[in-house]
Amino acid sequence: MFLSLDFRRAMLALVAGVTLGSGLGCKKSNSPPADPTKPVFDDFAKRVDAYMKLRKQVVDTVGELDPTRSQTEITARASRLAAAIINARPQAKPGDIFTPEVATLIATLIKQEYSRRSEPVQETREDQQDELPDFAPKVNELYPTTYPLATFPAKLLPLLPPLPDALEYRVVQRYLVLRDVEANVIIDYMPNAVPL
């Protein structure tokens, strides 16, 4: 389901701090305007839920994680889980979860958060970029284990839609990546999500 261009513009205007009523000739009312981000984030949540249902089916065939097993057995199970998830989503592509609507909204939120950072923090941004993994993510591929899992920016996380424990956000240069933690599979990603 794609939202109209006018709706997306109105949503971005609201996120940027502009009220929907100003400049649009709308009558003022006593009730607050509807939150235009809600349907976008609701759609994102439905897509995440659909992935989690598929994931549960895969886990049922592979077996639940048993943390009492040896590291070798845990690693072997994670590999089986990753292969099964990839096989269960052969047509997966960028934008299946990060739709254009949610990608636009999230990119705006990220840009706003970065712009609020103090000048000394912004000056160290280039140094921080050097610490980020440097690869082009692809859907249904393993997150390369040759790169460390950089800490996700603490002030950014509360701005993004919440995720189930099995999933996490990762920043890879300018990409925002959605990663299955246990399987180490890239579920989706957004290009140009993070400012330089």
The fraction of the chain above a pLDDT of 90, given in percent, is: 52
CA dist list (Å): 54 to 60, 78, 111, 167, 192: 10, 16, 32, 13, 28
Look at 141 and 173; give whichever has higher pLDDT: 141
If you write DSSP's letter for every residue of 90-108 in order, what string do you get? TT--TTSSS-HHHHHHHHH
Kindly report whether the global pTM for this prediction surpasses the value 0.85.
no
| Domain-wise residue ranges, the chain | 36-190
CA distance 22 to 19: 6
- Residue 182 one-letter amino acid: E
Of 96, 68, 95, 114, which is closest to residue 191 (Cα–Cα)? 95
Residue 64 CB neighbours (<10 A): 8
List pLDDT tens digits, range 52-95: 999 999 999 998 888 778 888 888 999 999 999 999 999 999 99
Torsion angles phi and psi, residue 3, rounded to 5? -90, 150
**CB neighbour list of residue 160: distance below 8 Å, 6 or more residues apart:** 106, 109, 169
